[in-house]
Amino acid sequence: MTLTHTGGVATVTDATFAEEVLAAELPVLVKFTASWCPPCRMIAPVLAEIAREEGHRLKVVQLDVDANPSTTLAYGVLSMPTLMLFRAGEPVRSLVGARTKRRLLEELGDAI
């Protein structure tokens, strides 16, 4: 299966979510995003940088909420961007809104 990448961040869909996120060996940070969301665009370079620097211990992906309503609904995502960290197929941390790289890494630190 081929995933599309935007700056080191793979794009997942309703169809690929279970395989790419729930079955992943590494913890996975999922950005629930939308093309019309300015804060989503603001955090995109932060996530791309984290994907490049932390790729050995963390997988970073994004999911377009408008194109993938099943996964969005299943996890109760209402605001964008929602960042959800999955480990062993389970969501272990959820954060809403854009933040700096340093703050994001601090907030995720003990969960990665």
Which residues carry out catalysis?
37, 40
Residue closest to 91 by CA, chosen among 32, 7, 16, 13: 32
Contact, 66 vs 10, CB < 8 A? no
Q: Is 19 helix (H, G, I), strand (E, B) or coil?
A: helix
HSE toward the beta carbon, residue 55, CA cutoff 13 A = 9
Question: Which residues, 6 or more positions from 12, have their beta carbon under 8 angstroms from its beta carbon?
Answer: 3, 20, 21, 30, 61, 62, 63, 68
